[in-house]
């Protein structure tokens, strides 16, 4: 069975309410009770009216829901409210999928920041949101306010545009930043890193470091060096630790290709760069398809306090424009 996540509005209030009631009724009894338990179909419709929401459906049965609340500040912030997964569907990773869908929806709507409110009495819930990249920003008893930047999604039509994206992003980076790159073989991870190296002004041609695993590119000026790591052949986090990257992290910009699931512990804050083919896998594998020329979609997802305090992730134009 395939789980589908849909954008919905007030017309789906009854389905969203069913998920909210099931999810919040299954939580520990709180004092004061969760506001969600007092929701009605009419109040949920009112919450959905400004910005809509997401409904996760499994074989026709609603199993997850979240309201996307613009927050009334001109669109800069989106609040994820009434987030819940039906107890019958837990243990399948759907909560993480729904959070990621909510973040992407907020980013595509133009929001710069996504905020949630978690109850202080539920440390596992607070830990879940922290694990999803949210940082505590305030406490308003009984709530913990947590936030993270909304992801930025960029369509990249060519390899030259991918390099230009890397060059532009270099202007947002400082020593100590860690980038975790993911995407299938040939997606453009090394091409992106080449542009990044040009933007940082480092020495040496940047190629895939598969056979040496890690390569250091010193700065030609006063900026940070670039440490380029390919984790494709690493067997686990222990082998990544053996590279002793900690010695370079504070003084360099570190890029880890194939780092998902391995490099998240390198730093408290990181920038995840996910590259996918815009045409989809079927088109990419079609006879005669130009795998290098396929348009790409790049998702920039910033996690941790360093990025929450930083200006927006939109890459700066590199000097002289596209090359």
- Distance (Å, rounded) from C-alpha 69 to C-alpha 53? 8
Pair (160, 183) in one structural domain: yes
Strand, coil or helix: what is 4?
strand
Residue 315 lies in a domain: no
Please report which helix (H) or strand (E) contains residue 146, including its range.
strand 143-149
- SS3 readout for 122-137: CHHHHHHHHHCCCEEE
Pair (203, 238) in one structural domain: yes
* CB contact at 8 A, 73 and 88: no
Which two structure tokens, joined as six digits, stand for 101?
A: 């869908």
Last residue of a domain, one of 98, 125, 149: 149
State the DSSP code for 1. -
Residue 145 lies in a domain: yes
Which two structure tokens, joined as six digits, stand for 66?
A: 């979240």
Pair (24, 111) in one structural domain: yes
Last residue of a domain, one of 130, 149, 168: 149
What pLDDT sits at residue 290?
43
Residue 323 lies in a domain: no
Pair (86, 166) in one structural domain: no
Residue 322 lies in a domain: no
pLDDT tens-digit series, residues 137-150: 999 999 999 999 99
Residue 320 lies in a domain: no
Exposure of 14 in the CB half-sphere (CA atoms within 13 A): 2
DSSP one-letter string for 38-104: G--HHHHHHHHHHH-EEEEEETTEEEEEEEEE-TTSSSSEEEEEEEEE-GGGTTSSHHHHHHHHHHH
CATH of the domain at 87: 3.40.630.30
Pair (70, 133) in one structural domain: yes
Residue 318 lies in a domain: no
- Distance (Å, rounded) from C-alpha 66 to C-alpha 82? 5
What pLDDT sits at residue 286?
40
Exposure of 13 in the CB half-sphere (CA atoms within 13 A): 13
Pair (144, 169) in one structural domain: no
Cα dihedral 316/317/322/323 (nearest 10): -70
Which two structure tokens, joined as six digits, stand for 252?
A: 């360099």
Cα dihedral 131/132/137/139 (nearest 10): -70
Last residue of a domain, one of 149, 176, 207: 149
Q: What is the mean pLDDT of each run of 10 residues along the chain (323 residues)?
A: 92 98 93 94 97 96 97 80 96 96 93 95 95 93 95 94 96 92 89 96 82 79 90 53 57 80 68 84 41 81 88 59 36
Pair (187, 301) in one structural domain: yes
What pLDDT sits at residue 249?
73
Pair (169, 295) in one structural domain: yes
Pair (69, 194) in one structural domain: no
- Distance (Å, rounded) from C-alpha 217 to C-alpha 43? 57
Closest-CA residue to 194 (of 174, 216, 167) = 167
Alpha-carbon torsion 274, 280, 285, 291, what sign?
negative
Residue 126 lies in a domain: yes
**Number of domains observed in the structure of the chain:** 2
Find the domain containing 203 and state its range.
152-308
Pair (277, 158) in one structural domain: yes
Residue 319 lies in a domain: no
- Distance (Å, rounded) from C-alpha 107 to C-alpha 299? 10
What pLDDT sits at residue 242?
46
What pLDDT sits at residue 291?
52
Pair (76, 219) in one structural domain: no
Question: How much is the pTM?
Answer: 0.82
Q: What are phi and psi of 242, to 5 degrees?
A: -65, -20
Pair (90, 223) in one structural domain: no
């Amino acid at each position: 069975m395939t789980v589908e996540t849909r954008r919905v509005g007030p017309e789906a209030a009854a389905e969203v309410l069913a998920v909210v009631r099931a999810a919040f009724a299954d939580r520990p009894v709180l004092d004061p009770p969760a506001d969600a338990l007092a929701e009605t179909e009419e109040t949920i419709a009112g919450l959905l009216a400004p910005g809509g929401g997401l409904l996760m459906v499994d074989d026709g049965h609603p199993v997850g829901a979240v309201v996307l609340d613009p927050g009334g500040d001109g669109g800069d912030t989106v609040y994820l409210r009434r987030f819940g997964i039906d107890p019958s569907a837990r243990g399948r990773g759907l909560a993480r999928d729904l959070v990621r869908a909510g973040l992407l929806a907020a980013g595509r709507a133009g929001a710069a920041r996504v905020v949630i409110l978690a109850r202080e009495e539920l440390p596992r819930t607070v830990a879940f949101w922290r694990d999803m990249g949210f940082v505590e920003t305030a406490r308003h008893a009984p709530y913990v306010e947590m936030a993270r930047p909304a992801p930025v999604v960029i369509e990249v039509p060519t390899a030259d545009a991918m390099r230009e994206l890397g060059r532009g992003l270099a202007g947002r980076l400082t020593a100590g930043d860690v980038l975790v790159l993911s995407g299938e073989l040939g997606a453009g991870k090394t091409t992106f890193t080449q542009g990044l190296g040009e933007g940082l002004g480092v020495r040496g041609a940047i190629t895939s470091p598969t056979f040496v695993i890690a390569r250091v590119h010193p700065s030609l000026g006063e900026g940070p060096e670039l440490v380029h790591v390919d984790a494709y052949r690493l067997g686990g986090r222990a082998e990544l630790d053996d590279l002793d990257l900690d010695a370079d992290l504070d003084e360099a910009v570190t890029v880890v290709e194939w780092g998902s699931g391995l490099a998240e512990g390198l730093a408290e804050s990181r920038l995840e760069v996910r590259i996918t083919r815009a045409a989809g896998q079927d088109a990419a594998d079609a006879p005669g398809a130009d795998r290098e020329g396929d348009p790409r979609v790049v998702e920039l997802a910033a996690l941790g306090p360093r990025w929450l305090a930083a200006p927006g992730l939109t890459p700066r134009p590199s000097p002289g424009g596209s090359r």
